[in-house]
Amino acid sequence: MNNVILCGFMGCGKSTVGKNLARKTGRKFLDMDRYIEEKAGMTVSEIFAAEGEAGFRDREHEACLELAQLHGLIIAAGGGALTFERNVEAFRGKDRIVLLDVELDDIRSRLQNDTTRPLLQRPDRDEAMRALYEKRLPLYRRAADVTVKGRNTPLGTAFAIIRELGLK
């Protein structure tokens, strides 16, 4: 296994759990959205505004292809990254994909004051979040090699991943 890829809905804890997991395993943590932002010289919101979702998804796919060539990373995938089969295929076989499974009510609570998510900046936010969650969850499950409940503390969730994957 080269890398551990964390997937799940926005707000499920990929970055926080990922940092804990990296600390406990001696691996380097990388947030895919920050990686894309650094390469683009723009924030995700700015990319969405300038290039639309399609432009962002193309940049995201390029990032998946590049990151799949690296080794020893804990990668927090963007919330939509692994809902696209081409991105899953970039990691399939050599990396392990872990779904952080968190209930929608918990995510809603975590994101209640978050205004940075482009896909949630709409007047029908709760309805849009539910629809997106219900659309994405089966795709995450299909992409994942392992599913870990994300209701524990970030450190507890990191330890659960270590156990599930047999990491040291």
Q: Is residue 91 part of a domain?
A: yes
For 73, the enclosing helix (H) or strand (E) is strand 73-76
**Structure-block tokens of residue 5:** 């890829």
Q: Is residue 39 part of a domain?
A: yes
Q: Is residue 166 part of a domain?
A: no
Kindly indicate the confidence band of residue 111, based on its pLDDT and cuts at 50, 70 and 90: confident
- Residues 82-100 pLDDT 10s: 999 999 999 998 899 999 9
Q: Is residue 168 part of a domain?
A: no
Q: pTM of whole model > 0.85? A: yes
pLDDT beyond 70 at 163:
yes
Q: Is residue 24 part of a domain?
A: yes
Q: Is residue 37 part of a domain?
A: yes
132 CB-near residues (< 8 Å, 6+ apart): 9, 119
- For the chain, how many structural domains are there in total? 1
DSSP 74-134: EEE--TTGGGSHHHHHHHTTTSEEEEEE--HHHHHHHTTT----GGG-STTHHHHHHHHHH
The whole domain housing 60 covers 4-160
User: What's the mean per-residue pLDDT of the chain?
Assistant: 91
Q: Is residue 149 part of a domain?
A: yes
Q: Return the CATH number at 149.
A: 3.40.50.300
Q: Is residue 165 part of a domain?
A: no
Of 129, 167, 125, 128, residue with least CA distance to 146: 167
